[in-house]
Amino acid sequence: MSERTQNRTHVDDVDRSLYDFTYSEEGYERYDDGLTPNIVRAISQKKDEPEWMLNMRLAALDTYHAKEMAPNWGPSIAGLDMDHISTYVSPRTKQAKNWDDVPDDIKNTFERLGIPEAERESLAGVGAQYDSEIVYHNMREEVAKSGVIYTTIEDALHDPQWEPVVHEYFGTLIPPADHKFAALHYAVWSGGSFVYVPEGVTVEYPLQSYFRLNAEGAGQFEHTLIIVEKGADLHFIEGCSAPKYYEANLHAGAVELFVKDGARLRYSTIENWSKNMYNLNTKRARVGADAKMEWVSGSFGSHVSYLYPTTILAGDRGICEFTGITFAGATQDLDTGCKVILNGANTTASVDTKSISKDGGCNTFRSSVVVGRRAANARCSVSCQSLMLDDISCSDTIPAMDVRNATASVGHEATIGRISDDTVLYLMSRGCSEAEARTMVVGGFANPVSKELPLEYAVEMNNLIKLEMEGAIG
Amino acid sequence: MYRPKPSDATIGRLAMSNQLLRVNGISAGTEDKPILHDVSLEVGSGETHVLMGPNGAGKSTLGHVIMGDPAYQVTDGTIVFDGTDITEQSADKRSLAGIFLSYQAPVEVPGVPLYSYLRTITQKRPELKMTARKFRNRVGEIAEQLDMGSSFLTRELNVGFSGGEKKKIEMLQLLLLRPKLAILDETDSGLDVDALSVVSRGIEAYRKDCDGALLVITHNTRILERLTVDRTHVMVQGRLVAEGPGSLIDDIDAHGFEQFEKASAGGEA
């Protein structure tokens, strides 16, 4: 019987074959590893960019070189050798509007990830990025008719109507000098999405961008710029995955979200990078008066993550809701969380996160809440629940609060729990195997997050949990 | 009157073909504390047995040991269910073989909707294979039988339910899973009169519809009023000290456990 008790703590590793496939890079354009002004110029030239963009890239590269290797306060990124990360790998194909025009190997990749099917069934538009370039972009006609723009930043830069808009917003919410990897991002960014929702327009179905990194030892640096005008409403979904390689891969994207007065934006992410990925992503939203920003974030993959989506509630009565879950297994060190800056009066923010650690995985939850002097009656609650599946994993919570208005109210609660033997016994005595019992408990723990996702993505998340929990026990 | 130990005659009374559960000289306990000592007990198919005894006698432990709770280690003896030695089997195997334990304090499992949980545990059993529609009807039927509103089913498993409601959910599972043997561990504790009557109805339905055997663990006799009891067992300090017919309950009602406790103490001295 004691043996059975021991077995309880063991959950087998995952069969990631669903995500873990790769196609040859043959015929693809791959720039030399490392970072030089020549590489930056080459990227810019290939994209035929306006002068200001090239100058921004070159300035960002200087900033990158000038900044200390950062960050130095979280998980180690010593395994990330920038001299061996290829910053630009382009599949030799033009962007298509029809999946039939996408080369077979790339199309197969997205078929296996279920993207075209989801597009047919439940999305208003899809963008699919493969390594450094968007290979597919399309939007339903009726959505386009309402004036919604959903395209790549590159294409927007070539459009005389949208080039000034990109120029006005690009790099203003996350400046290149924000941190070293933001600087890197602006030097070599490629791909991503530009979304513009005109005033008062509600986009009925979500738009989705999917980022797939296929090339070994490469970096992905996509930029997402979303502007939701006054009173407009959008749900944007971001998915990412990559096959497993032995060499480190790097993801340093930037997401800039502008939610104007009275608008609503929901930004959902299911991130499932492979476990050799350094995910140093920066996401930030600026929220106007009476506007609402909703984040739903599921982080399952990557070797190391630094991810703290930030919301600035700039206008009065703005609302931020953040729902997140992070699952760290063997070899994963995930430092995730959320930042909220409440500057407007009567703003509210609620942060609800969950983390699951197993097989020696590490989860650190960092939250930062800043209430500005003007933010009378601001309210913020932060809740973090952690579930540890064994004794060798770890889970930390590091909350920070800076409250500068006496009428504001902020609260924080954190709990760390385990799956109790009583719960496992209860479910087993009704016929569930031990593995099923544990999966059921973990699925239930994650349920408040999957409930926030569109059905297909909730199913994907539950499958990811099953994948992570799967394995013969006892 | 009672006998201090099951006699050969008692064992002989249960024809082999009728025998469902045979607990044979079980000693068990936690790592540092022996609780059960040489416990033997037999339950035939479709029979109703009652296990009584003062608080802390080890009654619940016996229920958990029969279910296969790894918190208790069996140091001696065997448990045979339906002709198979299950002493080393895990709880899920025992459940699928037809043993059900209704817990004193059912655990809460946040985020797991009751309905999908019920579907999952039903689907584990090939003999209960049914369409989604039939399943929904069946669950609705039982819920009605137990005076449970349909809102119960969309809630999370045992989360935020009162003690009485949790017991109803246990009865719901009992009637859905149709086990061959149901062990009810203090199912009556903490229930108000209304809940008690609903639970009694559930137990009656189980006896009638499923023709299942029952081992009712209790220290009060109220829940037994509506049941025809075949055998009564009395446990004191981890030992079965008496076994008798259903009428033994009346005797306990009138005189309490003192007589058995004295006998047990005398026996040990």
Per residue in A1-35, pLDDT (tens digit) is 333 333 333 333 444 555 666 666 665 667 766 68
Nearest CA distance, A374 vs chain B (angstrom): 39
Size of interface A-B (CB pairs under 8 A): 81
Nearest CA distance, B166 vs chain A (angstrom): 13
pLDDT at A270 over 80: yes
Residue B144, burial from CB neighbour count under 10 angstroms (0-12, 13-18, 19+):
exposed
B contacts of A446 (beta carbons < 8 Å) = 111
Higher pLDDT, A54 or B204: A54
Domain-embedded: residue B105: yes
A contacts of B111 (beta carbons < 8 Å) = 443-448
- Closest CB from A428, A436, A448 relative to B91: A428
B contacts of A440 (beta carbons < 8 Å) = 109, 112, 117, 120
Q: Which residues of A touch B (CB under 8 A)?
A: 1-2, 4-5, 420-423, 425-434, 436-437, 440-441, 443-448, 474
Nearest CA distance, A438 vs chain B (angstrom): 11
Per residue in A233-242, pLDDT (tens digit) is 999 998 877 7
pLDDT at A418 over 50: yes
Q: Could you tell me where the beta strands, DSSP code E, fall in A36-132?
A: 89-90, 125-130
**Residue contact B112–A5, C-beta within 8 A:** no
Q: Which of A2, A425, A450 to substitute to test the interface with B, most B CBs within 10 Å? A: A425
Domain-embedded: residue B45: yes
Q: What is the pTM of this model?
A: 0.82
Hey, what are A117's tokens?
Answer: 């099917």
User: Of A59-73, A88-102, A161-175, which one has max mean pLDDT?
Assistant: A161-175
Backbone φ and ψ for A157, nearest 5 degrees, come out as -70, -25
- Closest CB from B90, B111, B125 relative to A447: B111
**Residue contact A423–B100, C-beta within 8 A:** no
Q: Where are the alpha helices (DSSP H) in B98-255?
A: 114-123, 132-145, 163-177, 193-205, 248-255
Hey, what are A130's tokens?
Answer: 């493969």
Separation of alpha carbons A186 and A54, rounded Å: 10
Mean pLDDT over residues A97-115, rounded?
79
pLDDT at A474 over 50: no
Where do the domains of chain A lie? 2-307+419-469
pLDDT at A337 over 80: yes
Between A8-12, A353-357, A418-422, the lowest mean confidence (pLDDT) is in A8-12
Separation of alpha carbons A159 and A185, rounded Å: 23
Per residue in A189-238, pLDDT (tens digit) is 998 899 999 999 999 989 988 888 777 777 889 999 999 999 999 999 98
pLDDT at A375 over 90: yes
Separation of alpha carbons A207 and A112, rounded Å: 19
A contacts of B120 (beta carbons < 8 Å) = 432, 436, 440
Strand partners, A259: A228, A287
Domain-embedded: residue B41: yes
Averaged confidence pLDDT in chain A: 87
Number of structural domains in chain B: 1
pLDDT at residue number A19: 63
A contacts of B90 (beta carbons < 8 Å) = 4, 428, 434, 474
A contacts of B91 (beta carbons < 8 Å) = 425, 428-429
Q: Which residues of B touch A (CB under 8 A)?
A: 67-74, 90-92, 94-96, 99-101, 103, 106-107, 109-112, 117, 120-121, 124-125, 156-157, 173, 177
Separation of alpha carbons B122 and A16, rounded Å: 29
Domain-embedded: residue B110: yes
pLDDT at residue number B4: 45
Q: Which of A352, A430, A439 to substitute to test the interface with B, most B CBs within 10 Å? A: A430
Residue A332: in which H helix or E strand, if any?
none
pLDDT at A367 over 90: yes
**Residue contact A425–B92, C-beta within 8 A:** no
**Residue contact A426–B106, C-beta within 8 A:** yes
pLDDT at residue number B268: 44
Domain-embedded: residue B1: no
Each residue's pLDDT expressed in tens, for chain B with a length of 269 residues: 444 444 444 444 444 458 999 999 999 999 889 999 999 999 999 999 999 998 899 999 999 999 999 999 999 999 999 999 999 999 999 999 999 999 999 999 999 999 999 999 999 999 999 999 999 999 999 999 998 887 888 899 999 998 889 999 999 999 999 999 999 998 877 788 888 888 888 998 998 888 899 999 987 677 777 788 999 999 999 999 999 888 888 888 888 888 888 777 654 43
Mean pLDDT over residues A289-308, rounded?
93
Q: Length of chain B, please?
A: 269
Distant-in-sequence, close-in-space partners of B141: CB < 8 Å, separation ≥ 6: none
Q: Are A378 and A348 in contact (CB under 8 A)?
A: yes
Residue B74's closest chain A neighbor by CA? A1
- Closest CB from A423, A428, A447 relative to B92: A428
Per residue in A316-330, pLDDT (tens digit) is 999 999 999 999 988
**Residue contact A429–B91, C-beta within 8 A:** yes
- Of A338, A363, A341, A342, the closest CA to residue A351 belongs to A338
pLDDT at residue number A121: 75
B contacts of A421 (beta carbons < 8 Å) = 70-71
**Domain range holding B223?**
8-268
The 10 Å Cβ neighbour count of residue B198 is: 20
Residue A433's closest chain B neighbor by CA? B92
Residue B89's closest chain A neighbor by CA? A1
**Residue contact B68–A446, C-beta within 8 A:** no
Q: Which of B92, B170, B173, B184 to substitute to test the interface with A, most A CBs within 10 Å? A: B92
Helix B163-177 and helix B132-145: axis angle, to 10°? Answer: 130
B contacts of A422 (beta carbons < 8 Å) = 107
Nearest CA distance, A352 vs chain B (angstrom): 15
User: One-letter amino acid identity for B184?
Assistant: L
pLDDT at residue number A456: 72
Strand partners, A363: A334, A395
B contacts of A437 (beta carbons < 8 Å) = 92
User: One-letter amino acid identity for A103?
Assistant: P
CATH, residue B82: 3.40.50.300
- DSSP of B128-168: G---HHHHHHHHHHHHHHTT--GGGGGSBTTTT--HHHHHH
**Residue contact A1–B73, C-beta within 8 A:** yes
**Residue contact A444–B109, C-beta within 8 A:** yes
B contacts of A436 (beta carbons < 8 Å) = 120
